[in-house]
Amino acid sequence: MPTPARLHVAHALHGVFGEGERVPDIWDRDLGEDAHLAQALLGHCLRRWGRLQAWVKPNLKDPSRGVPLGTQVALAMGLAQLAWLPGVSDHAAVNESVLLAADRELGFPPHKGLVNALLRRAAKDRAALAAQLEALPASLDRSPAVEQALRMALAPHGAADQLEALWARLQQPPRPAFRVLKGESPEGLVPDLEVPSALRMAEGGSFPRPWLESGAGMVQDRTSQALLAYAWNRPVARILDACAAPGGKTTALARRHPGAEITALEAHPRRAARLRLTLQQREVEAEVIQADAAEWLERTEEAFDLILVDAPCSGSGTLQKHPEWPWLAHDELPRLTGLQRRLLTAAADRLAPRGLLIYAVCSWLPEEAEAHREWLAEARPDLRPATVWPAGLGVESGTAPTARFQPHPLRWEGEGFQAFALTWG
Ligand SMILES: C[S@@+](CC[C@H](N)C(=O)[O-])C[C@H]1O[C@@H](n2cnc3c(N)ncnc32)[C@H](O)[C@@H]1O
């Protein structure tokens, strides 16, 4: 039997390429020490999937015949270990992959011999294998959906010619950022010079698991932290977080506006239960309501001084953290953009005079934010842009604060986001 780490990676790859599923955030929870190997291996396989398959093809007896997914997975995992994981021995990389190929569920037993022969040959010169893989065109690892997302990320900044540079940046595993919830920041974390609330791991520092488990801090991408560093000094007594799970932004809103009454909505029952628990553990006082936010907003008569719509979206801006994104079907976009517009309209109707509405998506696609902003400017001329973010984070040039938040994907490290802020009265 292959080791649990490799079985986890094989399952995750089958989930992505067989079922079209995202890799769950905690897919490696039970792996302990081996989580590191599993994360690295899965990352290499997903980030280089196109090149790995292209390398295999000419090495097959009949390249015109399709290769079963079980064989593709076993070979990709074996090649990735040989090429990019020098700590894994030749023997482990080859034999574990042969075992995977022999597995009836995850492999394709008739190709056991083929996997063995190809990997043994590749293991003879691992540096040459790595060089051959790197020499294949990077575009093999990009689906049409990812090409489009990259173009859309660069277009507002007039940087269309930087696509390869952006892709290269997104191939690096993301560096985590943290936020203090209680007490002082722990040793090994240093302040992020651009985002006041954010901490980064010091050079050579280790992941602060005990500190996170103690509840004194949380992981939050620095783009989300910058988004929530809006400048707003009007009174905020009532806050609505319309799409709240898993609760990172609800927590930050509670810290920013102590004493405000917070309502947190979440449509998905399990995510709502999780949100309730997380907020309790973090001692965040908020009323959690499991509901479709658009429906809830359409029937409530309450008004809020601050509304955050962190809308469900394609997640194109998260493809550094989710290297499976390029390989998933993105046929949900029309449903998502319809829902986003409904959420935004319903939220705008419940904004108190002189209140602040922030609409955000972790996506670069203009149809998920910019199109809604333009549409709303026509449909609701009473809503005005609220210039709440410092210059440099928006698409407008100059030194004045901006009402649009869309950090430059090459000059800013972190997830890709688009947001805009509105007020009225
Ligand atoms: C981008 S995530 C929110 C992340 C969250 N704001 C945070 O920072 O931790 C979007 C959330 O909206 C939820 N959602 C999707 N459709 C919804 C709807 N119609 N009403 C309310 N929540 C919805 C999803 O289940 C998901 O948890």
pLDDT tens digits, 206-216: 889 899 989 99
Q: Which two tokens stand for residue 420?
A: 């805009």
Q: What is the mean pLDDT of the chain?
A: 95
Q: Which two tokens stand for residue 99?
A: 């075992």
- pLDDT bucket at 155, cuts 50 / 70 / 90: very high
- pLDDT bucket at 28, cuts 50 / 70 / 90: confident
Whether residue 167 has pLDDT greater than 80: yes
| Architecture in CATH of 4-141 | Orthogonal Bundle (1.10)
Cα of 112 to ligand 1 centre, how many Å? 44
Cα of 324 to ligand 1 centre, how many Å? 20
Q: In degrees rounded to 5, what are phi and psi of residue 271?
A: -70, -30
* CA atoms within 13 Å, Cβ hemisphere of 279: 28
* Residue 357, Cβ density class (10 Å: 0-12 exposed, 13-18 middle, ≥19 buried): buried
Q: Give the binding-site residues of ligand 1, using a 6 Å CB cut-off.
A: 243-249, 265-268, 271, 292-294, 310, 312, 339
Closest CA relative to residue 90, chosen from 116, 51, 109, 114: 116
Are 14 and 327 spatial neighbours (Cβ–Cβ below 8 Å)?
no
Give the pLDDT score at 193: 92
**Could you tell me the residue ranges of all domains in the chain?**
4-141, 177-218, 222-423
Residue 219, SS3 per DSSP? strand
Cα of 184 to ligand 1 centre, how many Å? 30
| CA 76 – CA 327 distance, rounded (Å) | 15
| CA 306 – CA 149 distance, rounded (Å) | 30
Whether residue 410 has pLDDT greater than 90: yes
Pick the CATH number of 222-423 from 3.40.50.150, 3.30.420.40, 3.10.450.630, 3.40.50.2300: 3.40.50.150
Mutation pick for ligand 1 pocket among 222, 227, 249, 266 (CB with most ligand atoms within 8 Å): 266
Give the pLDDT score at 392: 86
Are 278 and 246 spatial neighbours (Cβ–Cβ below 8 Å)?
yes
pLDDT tens digits, 322-341: 999 999 988 999 999 999 99
* Residue 274, Cβ density class (10 Å: 0-12 exposed, 13-18 middle, ≥19 buried): middle
Alpha-carbon separation of residue 308 from 124, 156, 227, 291 (angstroms): 56, 24, 11, 16
